[in-house]
Structure 1
Amino acid sequence: MMDTAIDTTARTFIEVAEIWVPEGDRLVLGEGHYGALDTFAEASRRESFAKGEGLPGKAWAEGRPVVLKAFDGSYFKRTEAAKEAGLTAAVAVPVFSGKTLKAVLVVFCADDEVRTGAIEVWKDDDGVLVLDDGYYGAAKHFEWVSQHTQFPRGQGLPGGVWASKTPILMRDLGSGYRFIRAESAGKAGLTTGIGMPIPVPGGETYVLALLSALGTPIARRFELWDARSARVGKGEPAAVLVDGICAREGKLWVGETEDPRRVTAWQGVIGRVLGTGLPVVEAGTPGLTAGYDTLIALPIHMDGELAHIVAWYC
């Protein structure tokens, strides 16, 4: 059922999340969550990146999401610290408002025989979305299927995001007729998917998809917030919760006859994203929803304005 799509006790697919923000001509660490990986955290605090340097700098220079599935022999700068921490792959997601880089979100994963999930980047290639790159952990067959799948506009999770230009949360991936790769997703244990547009300065189409499994979920709670002025009025910046899922609480959104959940700028963690336009990694603070250790919130800017916030809780 929908409200059992995310386990509340399993180890999550993502091990580390960090945010790099521009300071002069370099990216510096804004905030991050490293769990018990103190050595890697310390290596990260000492680091900074010029445009084109390291993984965050590459996402900045190329103006696109970047997947790095192996650190050895690559442009990655913290290879030894990552190896010591057991980290094996990373994805960098730049946050642009128009042509201005606001920040780069980087998430790290650790590989093992059971860690299953997917972080995918889809790109428009002559009128269809093709897999630009992705990290799948142990879901090798699903990775192969994804590499050989294309999505026209409006089809499947990536195609639906492309057509609507909005984030989409999709449930029951293994049995849902809307999910084109349902059979292979079911075999891999993938249950919940969230897709979001990633606007970039060149105007190319990129869609980021996070596919979560019961055993090693991407997160234990997902939220989609709409921050477009047409939805919340022309006054104080605000956002409304339009969709969400949580194993413990079931669905998080409300019906048309109820008042929607709404936050204003600087009200809680989501309000901080509204106020700054920056992504947030919040860990172990009183402002978090009870029962969760970490929140990652990613803003999506459209036409120079904050339009959506995608949040996931671990």
Structure 2
Amino acid sequence: MDVAVDTPVKTFIQVSEVWVPRDGRLVLAEGDYGTLDAFAEASRHASFAKGEGLPGKAWADQRPVVLKGFDGSYFKRIEAAAEAGLTSAVAIPVFDLDELKAVLVVLCGDDDNRTGAIEIWRESDDLLMLDDGYYGAAKHFEWISQHTHFPRGQGLPGAVWASLTPILMRDLGSGYRFIRADSAGKAGLTTGLGLPVPSPSGETCVLTLLSARGTPIARRFEIWDARPARVGKTGGAELIDGICAREGRLWDEDNPRKAAAWQGHIGRVLGTGLPLAERGGPGLVAGYDSIVALPVHLNGHLSHIVAWYC
């Protein structure tokens, strides 16, 4: 259940932030901005109506939205983003049935070496087609992805579609289960995380995060199962899969395999039903600086939590 990866020089995602509805607008609940203090300050003073800006568009469209460039777009913090070197973003709405719980926004920079992928797949005529994605320097892999589709159960997106559960895939460049293995290997992509993104419309949508060795999305990934069939009547969540940058087990006495509501970061997501994005603070897994945790709500219940650490 553990695969070692190299310690990164820089990560693919530079900023993660959580926007929550309040009085008809989205306001910033928390974020991990690293050293980008000016962009953090601009974000604290921002808010978005439904359909306004990137978070508001994800709210209105009821699905993830990719924005590959900010100039001339509906993005509202263009000047602050430019000063911070941020060039693209993905907004992921978290719905519980018809209720918007939050919008998770991740922002990236662009250079010749930053490689990875954040992809949105949508169902069309019983196939999953690429709706949009951001790939950094992996231009050939982007082209391959634009010309690839997945039946239910095939590849990482298709497997998520069939199971309606988050899935981790390892060794993308050599794994026979990953349909785009050859181009993934050439791009240096090593790890894939896929998860369903439910919508009030009932539309099928799958989010995939593909991490490269040199500029990884994260150094640790976790999938937590919160379904009653897994955890029983006592509730909580159980760590069922993960990939870690360090050798050894993912859980021990200091990092339990099970989480209860309001205990630790995963417990906070269980208690609130909201995503989190936090840098530092008590309770963070030793050796990591930040955590992003994203809940999946299905049929009116929190079913899974995916978490990644840098």
Instruction: Give the TM-score band, short-chain normalised.
Output: over 0.9
The CA deviation string for residues 20-58 of structure 1, in whole angstroms up to 9 with x for no partner, is 000010000000011111111111000000000000000
Partner of 2:61: 62
Distance across 1 between alignment mates of 2:60 and 2:151:
28
Which amino acid in the other structure matches residue 141 of structure 1?
H
Matched, 1:13 2:12: yes
2:297 aligns with 301
Identity of aligned residues (%): 74
Q: Deviations over 1:82-124 (max 9, x none)?
A: 0000000000000000000000000000000000000000000
Post-superposition CA distance 1:207-254 (Å, at most 9, x none)? 00000000000000000000001111113x300000001020355379
Per the alignment, residue 80 of structure 2 pairs with 81
Q: Distance in 2 between matches of 1:247 and 1:233?
A: 31
Partners of 1:55 and 1:251 in 2: CA distance: 38
Q: Hey, what does 2:309 align to over in structure 1?
A: 313
Q: Does 1:201 align with 2:200?
A: yes
Secondary structure at the aligned position of 2:149 is classed as coil
RMSD of the alignment, in Å? 1.3
- Distance in 2 (CA, whole Å) between partners of 1:81 and 1:247 is 32
Whole-angstrom CA distance in 2 between matches of 1:108 and 1:87: 7
Alpha-carbon displacement from aligned partner over 1:263-296 (angstroms, at most 9, x marks no partner) = 1101110000000000011211121001111100
Contact 1:2–1:172 (CA<8 Å) still a contact in 2? Answer: no
Does the CA contact (< 8 Å) of 1:21 and 1:104 recur in 2? yes
Output the amino acid matched with 2:64. Answer: P
Q: Secondary structure at the match of 1:14?
A: coil
One-letter amino acid matched to 2:29: G
Establish whether residue 292 from structure 1 lines up as the match of residue 285 from structure 2. Answer: no
**Equivalent position of 1:261 in the other structure:** 257
User: Does structure 1 conserve the Cα–Cα contact (< 8 Å) formed by 2:291 and 2:308?
Assistant: yes
User: Can you give the 5+ residue segments of structure 1 that lack an aligned partner in the other structure?
Assistant: 255-259
- 2 CA distance for matches of 1:249 and 1:98? 39
Q: Displacement, 1:189?
A: 0.2
- TM-score, structure 1 length as denominator? 0.96
| Whole-angstrom CA distance in 2 between matches of 1:294 and 1:106 | 15
Given that 1:245 and 1:251 are in contact with CA atoms closer than 8 Å, whether structure 2 keeps it comes out as no
Deviation, 1:10, is 2.3
Please give the alpha-carbon distance, in whole angstroms, between the structure 1 residues aligned to 2:31 and 2:73: 23
Structure 1 position 77, deviation (Å): 0.3
Is residue 8–residue 215 contact of structure 2 (8 Å, CA) maintained in 1? no
CA deviation string 1:117-160 (max 9, x = no partner): 00000000110000000000000000000000000000000000
Any gaps of 5 or more consecutive residues in structure 2? none
8 Å CA contact 1:212, 1:218 repeated in 2: yes
How far apart are the structure 1 equivalents of 2:28 and 2:2? 37
What does residue range 1-314 of structure 1 map to in structure 2 within 5 Å?
Answer: 3-4=3-4, 6-235=5-234, 237-250=235-248, 252=250, 261-314=257-310
Conserved? CA contact 2:2–2:242, under 8 Å: no
